[in-house]
Amino acid sequence: MMMKNIRKYIFAIAAAVLTFSNAFGQEADEQAAYNGETPKPTKYVEVTEQKEHLVFFQGFTLSADLYGVGAYLVSDYGWAEGALRLNLKNTYFPIIEVGYGKVKKLDDNTQIEYKAQAPYARIGFDMNMLKNKFQDNRLYVGFRYGMSKFKYDMSGPAMTDPIWGGSAAFNIKDIDCTSQWGEFVFGAEVRIWRNFHMGWSVRYKMEFSSTKSDYAKPSCIPGYGYTTTSSNWGGTYNLIFDLNWGKKKSHKRGVSVEIRDINDSPVEQTDNKESEGSEELEEEEITE
């Protein structure tokens, strides 16, 4: 019995508190209305997302490779190369590379000398893998198709013919050859100052075909490299200039947040001021 009475008292006290709080809230609203004030409504948060986008054509890119020039200074094979690339939405980059390769190699074992120098060209496509396309740094993958039509010379000391016997030195010039190959490319670019970038690339190359010769296969192809195996590795280190005449952006990127009252508008504020002014005029007339 005692526990039941305690529960009744607790329920009675809780009901009294709720009734008092409701009554106090109503009284406060009535008091605000009596004083000419409007109770403040609940606030809400307005979130507006503004997406930035790039136009399709972003301009051109010119680049020059330094690695090939340095390679020729310290090895038997080197090249000079430049590239022209289109920038589409800072994501897709069709590209053409043109260069001139030169090799002069002497085999230490056979004493056979090989010479070749000729232009070459590649066409291909790169794709920027970074998620944020609005920045000027890039990380890309791509591919190339390369071709070179060239002539090479071979010469060597007297060698004994294992079948017919005898020996004679040889000097064969202007052997025609056309070679084709493919390249998988991985590279990066970093903005240095304004439109000037520097970047590097690593390339895995595979030879597709070369013109057969009655003498010997070319040991080095301009633009491709040495042919001792069916594939090889290469690289570039580029000075890059962005000619971004078409680069344009619109809107602002990110999210804007606005917090305000539901009924808080300039129109209502002006109406209140006008009504207050009219009330003041009426009071002045009455006093007069």
pLDDT in tens, 230-251: 899 999 999 999 887 555 555 4
Q: Which of 61, 98, 62, 67 is nearest to 235 (CA)?
A: 67
For 114, half-sphere exposure in the C-beta direction (CA atoms, 13 angstrom radius) is 18
- For residue 66, the Cα-to-chain-centroid distance in whole angstroms is 23
| Tens-place pLDDT, residues 37-70 | 555 555 555 555 556 677 888 899 999 999 999 9
How far, rounded to the nearest angstrom, does the alpha carbon of residue 146 sit from its chain's CA centroid? Answer: 25
Q: Which domains does the chain have, with CATH numbers?
A: 53-150+176-249 (2.40.160.20)
Q: What is the mean pLDDT of residues 75-97?
A: 95
Cβ atoms of 58 and 247 within 8 Å: the answer is yes
What is this structure's pTM? 0.67
Distance CA 51, CA 128 (A): 20
pLDDT at 256 over 80: no
Q: What is the pLDDT of residues 151-208, one digit of tens each?
A: 999 998 877 666 666 666 778 999 999 999 999 999 999 999 988 999 999 999 999 9
What are the φ/ψ torsions at residue 24 (nearest 5 degrees)? -65, -40
